[in-house]
Structure 1
Amino acid sequence: MKTLSLSTALLSALVLSAAAQAAPTVGAQGKINFTGDINADACTVAGSGMASRGVFNYDMGSVSNLSLGTEDAPATSSTNLPSMPIPVELTLQCATGTQVTLALTPAIASGKGVGVSGLATGAQIMLTKATDGSIIDFTAGTNTIPAGLDSNGKVTVSLLAYYTRKAGVAAAAVTPGTANGTVNYVLSYE
């Protein structure tokens, strides 16, 4: 009888051991997809306003028409209200040995500046170089900026964007409302 009990216990242990090593229960299943594209760009562009690849958004905020400078002096208001510059930074990272220029073209031209769409009238957007305040003049349509890369192939193009009055428009004559503008950019490699 002892042999039978010992045999039964041994057999039970083997069955339990085999059951513990049975095939696991299959859980959630799916797949992982990778999408994208390979391009021939020698540089990448990044910046704080980047919304998606190649698209930058900068909120100009709500600005009093009485604080607007002119296209020749975007940072200077004709009243005691300050002009409100918005920093725009585009960081280029390029392959070794790349020579690059950045061409900026407003979607809507407006004198030296960028024309706006929306309900506001008499206003435009002006871009200046953050380093020296010089105006990015769009009178010819496109303004090209040489991008002097450092030894690591990197440069940050720092600009300031201002709402301004169009040439010859008084601050009080600017009609308030939405004022959206777009500047297209193209990198050219040599």
Structure 2
Amino acid sequence: MKNFAFAVLTLSVLAASTSAVAEEASKAVNGGSGQISFTGVINNDACSVDGATGSDKMIAVDMGSVSIKDMGTDSAPGAGRLAAKDFNLKVNCNAGTKVSMLFKPTVNGGSGLVDGKKVLKLQGADAAKGVGIALMDSNGQLIDLSSEGTAKIQTSLTGDATAGGDGTLSFAAAYVTTGDKTTATAGTGNATLPFVLEYE
């Protein structure tokens, strides 16, 4: 009988305790609600370029301040007193991939080409006149931007053949005069050169 009374008492205490907890929970006040939004893109690109930022994969290049008198010409960009600016872009690719960077000066917001020339046109109302940007390969030879067959640079890859590898795309750029140097005028030297990576 004592055991039964103790059990009844214990159940009574548990019931009272449970009731108190339920009553306390019912007094909880919601402080507001909301949502978490996740955004992103999953891709399967065979290669990526180090230093390319943002959704448009922009690579920023500071060409500095250059005097017209020190520039080469659109046909001989290396003939100027000022050396061309060298660039090495690192790429990381899937196994067995050979990559080329194809320059597309006339599409997707590109600056276009200087009329009748193989060099990039400067853009903007305050751009220097009679000046363009020439691209050269790692041997200092002019890259003809007017032809899809020549407007590119290639790289071979090093690293683990099964895990992929790293490669380097090497080229140079220089401001050049595109006509009579005496008629060229000072101004800004901005331009945009879209590119795509082609894999083999």
In structure 2, how many angstroms separate the alpha carbons of the residues matched to 1:33 and 1:146? 40
Q: 1:74: how far off?
A: 0.9
Counting aligned pairs with the same residue, the percent is: 35
Q: Give CA deviations for 1:10-33 in whole Å, capped at 9, x if unaligned.
A: xxxxxxxxxxxxxxxxxxxxx997
Equivalent pairs counted in the alignment come to 152
Q: Give CA deviations for 1:62-91 in whole Å, capped at 9, x if unaligned.
A: 1111111012211212xxxx2242222221
So what's the TM-score if we normalise by structure 1? 0.71
**5+ residue gaps in structure 2?**
1-34
Give matches, 1:7-86, under 5 Å. Answer: 35-47=39-51, 50-52=52-54, 54-77=57-80, 82-86=81-85
1:113 and 2:115 aligned: no
Secondary structure at 1:56's aligned position in 2?
A: coil
Secondary structure at 1:52's aligned position in 2?
A: coil
The residue aligned with 2:99 is 100
**5+ residue gaps in structure 1?**
1-30
Q: Give the residue type in structure 2 aligned to 1:164.
A: V
Q: Check conservation: 1:63, 1:84, Cα contact below 8 A.
A: no
In structure 2, how many angstroms separate the alpha carbons of the residues matched to 1:62 and 1:145? 26
Q: Which structure carries more strand by proportion?
A: 1
Q: Check conservation: 2:104, 2:195, Cα contact below 8 A.
A: yes
In structure 1, how many angstroms separate the alpha carbons of the residues matched to 2:72 and 2:87? 18
Runs in 1 of length 4+ with deviation above 4 angstroms? 31-35
